Amino acid sequence: MNIKEKLEKLKADKVFKLPPVIDGASEAEINIAGKKVINLSSNNYLGFANHPRLIKKAKIALDKFGVGAGAVRTIVGNMSIHEELDQRLAKFKKEEAALTFQSGYVSNLGIIQAIVERGDLIISDQLNHASIIDGVRLSRADKAIYQHNDMVDLENILKEKRSHYNNVLIITDGVFSMDGDLANLPEIVRLAKKYNCLTYVDDAHGSGVLGENGRGTVDHFNLNGQVDFIMGTLSKAIGVVGGYVACSKEAREFLLNRSRPLLFSTTLLPSAAAAIIEALTMLESSNEYTKKLWDNANYFKALLLEFGFDLGKSETPITPLIVGDEALTIEFSEQLLANGVFSSAIVYPTVPLKTARIRLMPTALHTKAQLKKAADIIYRTALGLEIIT
Ligand SMILES: *Cc1c(COP(=O)(O)O)cnc(C)c1O
């Protein structure tokens, strides 16, 4: 098939989509096609993406450092603001060192392929994020997949395979992005010690959300210093762009020499680094942002549960509303948009067949009135489609 035929097939299969155009900043209400709707789809958990304090610091950095870093980090793109950001991230995550990348996606690609090689094994949770899957594919290590969060399955793989490999890396999301459930990190860390493995947690949806002052899932489980690689993104709760890994000083220096996105792709914008540093300052000095997020999420989820919706296994602000049927879920999402609520329809192959869902993201930006209004619209729309009765 050529591209044109492939595109026709996407349309025939009813999976073709173009992204909506948002006119303005990421806020609790957004304008789409001239219409104001309640935004329940963004990862801007704490409202930092358009926060005046971050904007102010970014502007100062723009004047001092310019719009671009000018080179890859390992040549001459490593500005003082990038070093400062790495140090601040290490401190925030309570780890020895940290290293930033251009995005969370790029971090997973660049870290995983650098830290394992032929003769090593990666053991990965079945529901890990696409960027982990791509990072695993790029590495020369063998891979094994364990059933989602199934520690018996993980241990069975370790029993069978550990002795055949040099290094074994166990990788998991900290918070699973489609269900909002948490990895069983205490057990993963215990098994990793027992079988002498390295551990890697992708905490894209945990940092800024869980743990003391939003330090993340590892902190939530009191496992600081016990996970080898804690990867995170700076684009979700932190509100800007970029990714990082918190790790040992040796691992950081090794990655600076061997991680391909650092060697072959230009460094993060200096203004982004400045805005991120301000976000960390805000998180470290107050828990008002994370508190507001959880308060809103708990309020919103309680409303939906009262209406009788199935919220799956969610333990975090990520609120999946399980519908089941794929076409019905897409119809639901379209009607919600027409009725004033922007939600994401998540269908196969992102989630297993017949577990299609609407994913809703309450944030610290929403007012209770907006969340109540959205819950009422969701309820009425679902009744009309007989998703609930
Ligand atoms: C969003 C996400 C990423 C990618 O982060 P970006 O900074 O947007 O590239 C990686 N891993 C997980 C689990 C994510 O949810």
* CA angle, residues 57, 280, 371, in degrees to nearest 5: 95
**Is residue 163 classed exposed, middle or buried when 0-12, 13-18 and 19+ CB atoms within 10 A define those classes?**
exposed
Which run of H or E residues covers position 329?
Answer: helix 326-339
| Cα distances (angstroms) measured from residue 65 to each of 77, 256, 385 | 11, 22, 54
Q: What are phi and psi of 326, to 5 degrees?
A: -65, -55
**Is residue 122 classed exposed, middle or buried when 0-12, 13-18 and 19+ CB atoms within 10 A define those classes?**
buried
State the DSSP code for 175.
Answer: B
Q: State which amino acid sits at residue 39.
A: N
pLDDT tens for the 389 residues of the chain, in order: 999 999 999 888 777 888 999 999 999 999 998 999 999 999 999 999 999 999 999 999 999 999 999 999 999 999 999 999 999 999 999 999 999 999 999 999 999 999 999 999 999 999 999 999 999 999 999 999 999 999 999 999 999 999 999 999 999 999 999 999 999 999 999 999 999 999 999 999 999 999 999 999 999 999 999 999 999 999 999 999 999 999 999 999 999 999 999 999 999 999 999 999 999 999 999 999 999 999 999 999 999 999 999 999 999 999 999 999 998 999 999 999 999 999 999 988 888 889 999 999 999 999 999 999 999 999 999 999 999 98
State the DSSP code for 78.
Answer: -
Task: Verify whether residue 131 is a known catalytic residue.
Answer: no
pLDDT of res. 170? 98
pLDDT of res. 119? 98
Q: Is 336 strand, coil or helix?
A: helix
- Rounded to two decimals, what is the model's pTM? 0.96
State the DSSP code for 36.
Answer: E
Region for 144 from its dihedrals, namely left if φ exceeds 0, alpha if ψ lies in -120 to 50, beta otherwise: beta
| Cα distances (angstroms) measured from residue 356 to each of 128, 176, 199, 329, 380 | 17, 16, 31, 6, 19
pLDDT of res. 15? 74
pLDDT of res. 303? 98
Which run of H or E residues covers position 324?
Answer: strand 319-324
Which run of H or E residues covers position 152?
Answer: helix 151-161
Residue with the smallest CA separation from ligand 1 atom 2 is: 204
Relative to beta strand 341-342, strand 35-39 is parallel
pLDDT of res. 13? 79
Q: Which of 235, 241, 350 to mutate to test the pocket of ligand 1 (most atoms within 8 A of CB)?
A: 235
Distance of alpha carbon 307 from the chain centroid: 28
pLDDT of res. 14? 75
Distance 166 CA to ligand 1 centre (A): 29
State the DSSP code for 162.
Answer: G
Instruction: For residue range 295-343, list pLDDT tens digits in order.
Output: 999 999 999 999 999 999 999 999 999 999 998 999 999 999 999 999 9
Residue with the smallest CA separation from ligand 1 atom 14 is: 204
Ligand 1, residues at Cβ distance < 6 Å = 103-105, 129, 131, 173, 177, 202, 204-205, 233, 235, 243
Give the Cα separation of 217 and 237 in Å (integer): 13
pLDDT of res. 353? 86
pLDDT of res. 349? 82
State the DSSP code for 164.
Answer: G
Q: Which of 129, 182, 346 to mutate to test the pocket of ligand 1 (most atoms within 8 A of CB)?
A: 129
Task: Verify whether residue 205 is a known catalytic residue.
Answer: yes
Task: Verify whether residue 366 is a known catalytic residue.
Answer: no
Instruction: For residue range 76-122, list pLDDT tens digits in order.
Output: 999 999 999 999 999 999 999 999 999 999 999 999 999 999 999 99
| Cα distances (angstroms) measured from residue 22 to each of 31, 33, 34 | 6, 8, 9
Distance 1 CA to ligand 1 centre (A): 31
Cα of first residue to Cα of last residue in the chain, in angstroms, is: 44
pLDDT of res. 212? 95
> Is residue 82 within 8 Å of 100, Cβ to Cβ?
yes
